[in-house]
Amino acid sequence: MAGRETVIEAQRLSFRAGRRSILEGVSFHAAAGETVCIIGPNGAGKSTLLKCLAGINETSAGALTICGRPLASYSRRSLARILSYVPQAYGHELPFFVHDFVMMGRYAHIGPLSLPGKADRDAVEHAMATTGTIALADRHMATLSGGELQRVFIAAALAQQTCVMLLDEPTTFLDPKHRFEIHGLLMKISRDHGVTTVIATHDLAFALQSADRIIALKEGKLVYCGEAADMTVEATLSSMYEIPFLVLRHPATGRPIVIAEDA
Amino acid sequence: MRRTTRGRLLLAGLLALGLAVFVTAPMVGMKAVTVQDVLGNALDVTAHKIFWEIRVPRVLVSFLAGAGLGLSGMAFQAMFRNVLATPYTLGVASGASFGAALCVRAGITLDLPLFSAVTLCAFAGAMLAVGVVYGISRSRAGMSPPTLLLAGVAVSFLFSSLILFVQYTSGLTQSFRIVRWLMGSIDVLGYRPAVEIAPFVITGSLIVLALYRELDLMLLGDELSMSRGLNVDRTRKLLVLAVSLMVGGIVAVCGPIGFVGMMAPHMVRLATGADHKYLGPATFLFGGAFLTICDTMGRTLAAPAEIPVGVVTALLGGPFFLWLLLRRSGSGWWGLG
């Protein structure tokens, strides 16, 4: 991954909710087209970190640079053109049809008081084709299954045509088949579109097999941050989750596979 | 696409309904008016006068008021992501009423070319109430809609008791004036009220209608709409300003007319869906036509007596509100989100 342009540069980020400290001194960087997984137990601050990166949460300390500019220097609109965010599963209650929802991803690209143009329609069509949601275009959000909903949310983020996509537990409530599909989709987005994806996930198998870079959090602090290949798997996971892990190797890729197990 | 066609058809239909109401409503009433009377080449000068100086201005005011109240309701429903959130249920109308009542009591008169002192005071009262409700809703993260509604009810009560206090301290004539006006009535003579109400409703409506894309995004919730590039704070401020303008202007002239703000957008939404591109103009037209019909009913049903239009809408709106409350338990979408 050497030589690629750095897209996200976070230095000693901290976030406080009231008096409680949620994130403390988190530093990492990510390059163009990388897949970055944020792992950690519940309450470790994974979602909070994503929301800080998305500019939804305001960090209390630290410096955050996205595409070479400090995050704070972006307007909401200009930020939405380089960074998209896929929240944790929800959306059944949204009163929209799928196509209209994906088109709403173009908000930052459409001028005030003007209508969506050809570029917007093309971007929406392309995003829906990539995510395989064209057949869902005229369906109402309330009628979608969990896997379909997740693909539609990713389509909307893709329609934003950003160089960074942040995803908060995109596969948590999905069965293995749909999880596999979403993972494939995410890999396609980062490889083919050169989008840097930052994924908060509990899916250790995915993180260990597919991530270029891993950010391991525990109680708001970094346990590990760096290339996935360099991580000492057993030590990192055990200290993070406080249970022993058995580490095996994937026969083809040599990448680690872990099982929680008594030593 | 089919949905687009449907939206356009509905808008065309509502436009036709609006025009029909506009033309028919002034013809209806105690005193029969014929087309000749209207055009002024008939012998009946009284009918001519009644038509042009009482009924047409009245229809203008009721149409503008209904349209403005409908759009205000729609804006609040999107902003608070709740169909029960309207200027009336959240206490904004009471705030405006309090401002106006205070003005009547204090006997403040201002002779500005366009606005009366009552209008300005009602606007200030509306802003105050919005500020209070909004402050409450922001004070605790993840505040649930039922709590918000209760906060609105509390604000409403607070201003109502303040109004009662104002009444208590006023004389018999003033007190009667306040009570009569609190019932919500479109009892206008001449074009001055229409001229007074128009800039408020038109400005507010233009703001709300122009923000259709932003209103759609607000339904996604703050976090997702921010990540789509929406400046949530600025949009809220604009909407609050627009709603306060409309409610202030309308309440000053007509008193607090309830339920239109909740019913109009909701009825229209059943047909158009939540896409504000169609919902906005459709609500404007439907709200206007609806209140005009209610007012026409109010002045004809018990003629020669007049039922204040606020009483008519409340009689229709009460059961509607209950229906909405009971129905929502079943339906999952667009609700207490």
Residue A142 to residue B216, Cβ atoms within 8 A? no
In a domain, A132, yes or no: no
Q: Which domains does chain B have, with CATH numbers?
A: 61-328 (1.10.3470.10)
**A76 interfaces chain B, CB cutoff of 8 Å:** yes
CA distance linking residue A108 with residue B174, whole number of Å: 53
CA distance linking residue A83 with residue A62, whole number of Å: 19
Q: Among A127, A41, A47, which residue's Cα sits nearest to residue A88?
A: A47
List all residues 6 or more positions away from A260 whose beta carbon is below 8 Å from its beta carbon: A241, A243, A244, A245, A246
Question: How confident is the model over A5-34, as a mean pLDDT?
Answer: 91
**B111 interfaces chain A, CB cutoff of 8 Å:** no
Place of tokens 């909407």: B239
In a domain, A36, yes or no: yes
What spatial distance separates the first Cα and last Cα of chain B, rounded to whole Å?
29
Question: How confident is the model over A91-119, as a mean pLDDT?
Answer: 90
- CA distances in angstroms from B250 to A263, B92, B100, B288, listed in the order given: 74, 12, 11, 12
Which residue range is the domain that position A252 belongs to? 1-82+189-263
Q: Taking CA atoms, what residue in A is nearest to B231?
A: A76
Place of tokens 């001449």: B190
**B38 interfaces chain A, CB cutoff of 8 Å:** no
Q: Taking CA atoms, what residue in A is nearest to B141?
A: A17
pLDDT in tens, A215-257: 999 999 999 998 888 888 888 999 899 998 989 998 988 889 8
Residues in B closer than 8 angstroms to A96, CB to CB, are: 216, 219, 273-275
Q: Taking CA atoms, what residue in B is nearest to A78?
A: B229
pLDDT in tens, A125-135: 999 999 999 99
Locate A29 and state its tokens.
């960087």
Instruction: Classify each residue of A61-76 as buried b or exposed e, where b means 16 or more C-beta atoms within 10 Å of its C-beta.
Output: ebebbbbeeebeebeb
φ, ψ for residue B334, nearest 5 deg: 50, 60
Nearest to B230 among A83, A85, A107 (CB): A107
- Amino acid letter at A42? N
- CA distances in angstroms from B107 to A54, B247, B270, listed in the order given: 53, 21, 45
**B142 interfaces chain A, CB cutoff of 8 Å:** no
Q: Specify the pLDDT at position B335.
A: 42
List all residues 6 or more positions away from A48 whose beta carbon is below 8 Å from its beta carbon: A15, A22, A23, A57, A220
Question: How confident is the model over A11-28, as a mean pLDDT?
Answer: 91
In a domain, A53, yes or no: yes
**A95 interfaces chain B, CB cutoff of 8 Å:** yes
Residues in B closer than 8 angstroms to A97, CB to CB, are: 3, 273
Residue A142 to residue B332, Cβ atoms within 8 A? yes
**B227 interfaces chain A, CB cutoff of 8 Å:** yes
Residue A94 to residue B333, Cβ atoms within 8 A? yes
Q: Model confidence at A37, in pLDDT bands (50, 70, 90)? A: very high
CB atoms within 10 A of CB B142: 5
Q: What's the average pLDDT block by block, 10 residues per block, for chain B (337 residues)?
A: 76 90 83 72 75 88 95 91 82 88 78 73 87 75 64 87 88 80 76 89 96 93 92 88 90 85 88 88 94 90 82 85 67 40
Q: Specify the pLDDT at position B86.
A: 83
Q: Taking CA atoms, what residue in B is nearest to A87?
A: B224
**B109 interfaces chain A, CB cutoff of 8 Å:** no
Q: Specify the pLDDT at position A51.
A: 94
Locate A173 and state its tokens.
């409530």
> Does residue A202 sit in helix, strand or coil?
coil
pTM of the model: 0.88
Locate B192 and state its tokens.
């001055």
- Given a cut of 60, is residue A262 above it in pLDDT? yes
Mean pLDDT of chain A: 91
Q: What is the total count of domains within chain A?
A: 1
Q: Determine which of A100, A115, A121 to mutate to test the interface with B (most B C-beta atoms within 10 Å).
A: A100
CATH of the domain at A25: 3.40.50.300
Residues in B closer than 8 angstroms to A87, CB to CB, are: 223-224, 227
Nearest to B229 among A87, A108, A113 (CB): A108
Q: Specify the pLDDT at position B114.
A: 64
Q: Taking CA atoms, what residue in B is nearest to A161?
A: B228
Q: Specify the pLDDT at position A66.
A: 93
Q: Specify the pLDDT at position B146.
A: 65
**B274 interfaces chain A, CB cutoff of 8 Å:** yes
Q: Specify the pLDDT at position A233.
A: 87
Residues in B closer than 8 angstroms to A141, CB to CB, are: 333
**B220 interfaces chain A, CB cutoff of 8 Å:** yes
Nearest to A95 among B2, B228, B273 (CB): B273
**A51 interfaces chain B, CB cutoff of 8 Å:** yes
Identify the residue with better confidence: B332 or A185: A185
In a domain, A144, yes or no: no
Identify the residue with better confidence: A67 or B333: A67
Report the percentage of chain A scoring pLDDT > 70: 98
Residues in A closer than 8 angstroms to B232, CB to CB, are: 76
φ, ψ for residue A137, nearest 5 deg: -45, -45
Residue B227 to residue A84, Cβ atoms within 8 A? yes
DSSP label at A132?
T
Place of tokens 């396609």: A188
In a domain, A259, yes or no: yes
CA distance linking residue B228 with residue B232, whole number of Å: 10
**B140 interfaces chain A, CB cutoff of 8 Å:** no
Residue B230 to residue A76, Cβ atoms within 8 A? yes
Residues in B closer than 8 angstroms to A105, CB to CB, are: 228
Residue A56 to residue B219, Cβ atoms within 8 A? no
φ, ψ for residue A180, nearest 5 deg: -60, -45
Locate B221 and state its tokens.
């919730």
CA angle B146, B152, B157 (to 5 degrees): 130
Pair type for strands A245-249 and A256-260: antiparallel
**B6 interfaces chain A, CB cutoff of 8 Å:** no
Q: Specify the pLDDT at position B113.
A: 65
List all residues 6 or more positions away from A244 whose beta carbon is below 8 Å from its beta carbon: A238, A260, A261, A262, A263
Q: Taking CA atoms, what residue in A is nearest to B232?
A: A76
Residue B217 to residue A76, Cβ atoms within 8 A? no
- B146 burial level (CB within 10 Å; 0-12, 13-18, 19+): exposed
Q: Taking CA atoms, what residue in B is nearest to A141?
A: B333
